[in-house]
Amino acid sequence: MTSLPAVPLTLEGSSVLHQMMRFRWTAWKTLTPPQQDAALLEASAALGGMQGAAQQTAIYSLIGHKGDLMFLHFRKTFEELNQAEIALSRLRIAEFLEPTTSYLSMVELGLYESTLKLYGSLAERGIEPHSAEWKQEIESQLARQRQAMAQRLWPAIPDHKYICFYPMDRRRGESVNWYQVPMAERQRMMHEHGMVGRRYADDVRQIITGSIGFDDWEWGVDLFAADPLVFKKLIYEMRFDEVSAAYALFGTFYVGVRVADLGAWLKA
């Protein structure tokens, strides 16, 4: 029997795009009120059509210098994300939106515990890793998991007032390297890490997206809450668990307030 794979199984769902924008206020103010109203009417109609079950877009007013607005898109496929991006760029108001950065990923559920059990069971039965029978057993397990976790794989964008988004990596340095740690140890640390998050489940909604091969970091994290203070408390407590303290690298943090009415935001 060859060595068991080191890669944990994952389930993938919604395709996700974050678009951070700076608003060109000076140029916007050169428009006459009727011109502004026409641009807003067009934008409101287009964005209003992006609120169904199959396609979702939410807008957030960013706090700080990293941008003015963040557009968050959840779609079924990358093609639909691209269509949403193009549709937004064709609006009159897009002339006043200057991209500062973006992030592409898809909802991901890691299955460390299930993977260890399944790999162990297949090994006990003498099924060779990566063989046709192995792949069939894996896909059968994943199919059951996809059905059981459909709501988590295809979530609605939470309607909480505040959002905190940040990308992250697992450390691959000279002294510690996440990708050289045995899977059982990674599973133990991830379990302990997850238990911290569960204690905040009533106050914050967390959506993890995978971005390996899609963007510059390995995962994206979206936190949604009614009170932004919970972001600080949750992330700070998580810094003390082993997986974060030893192996986590964090990118830029973006915090914003949900925009229910773009016109009201522009006139505030």
DSSP codes of every residue in 156-169: PPP--SEEEEEEEE
- 10 Å CB burial of residue 186 (0-12, 13-18, 19+) is buried
Report the Cα 141 to chain-centroid distance in Å.
24
pLDDT of residue 70: 98
* 252 within domain boundaries: no
In this predicted model, which residue has the larger pLDDT, 53 or 187?
187
> Which residues are the active-site residues?
166
* 195 within domain boundaries: no
Is the pLDDT at 249 greater than 60, yes or no? yes
Q: What's the pLDDT tens digit per position in 95-122?
A: 999 999 999 999 999 999 999 999 999 9
Cα(117)–Cα(112) distance, integer angstroms: 9
CATH number at residue 22: 3.30.70.1030
Is the pLDDT at 135 greater than 70, yes or no? yes
| Residue 70 and residue 254 in contact, taking contact as beta carbons nearer than 8 Å | yes
* 63 within domain boundaries: yes
- As for how many domains the chain has, the answer is 1
Q: What's the pLDDT tens digit per position in 4-53?
A: 899 999 999 999 999 999 999 999 999 999 999 999 999 999 988 887 66
* 38 within domain boundaries: yes
pLDDT of residue 1: 47
* 31 within domain boundaries: yes
Which of these, 190, 102, 115, 170, lies nearest to 145 by C-alpha position?
115
* 257 within domain boundaries: no
A 10 A CB-CB count for 235 gives 19
DSSP summary character for residue 172: B
Specify the range with the lowest mean pLDDT, choosing from 14-28, 80-94, 185-199, 216-230: 185-199
Range of the domain at 55: 14-107
* 169 within domain boundaries: no
| Residue 171 and residue 247 in contact, taking contact as beta carbons nearer than 8 Å | yes
pLDDT of residue 53: 61
* 64 within domain boundaries: yes
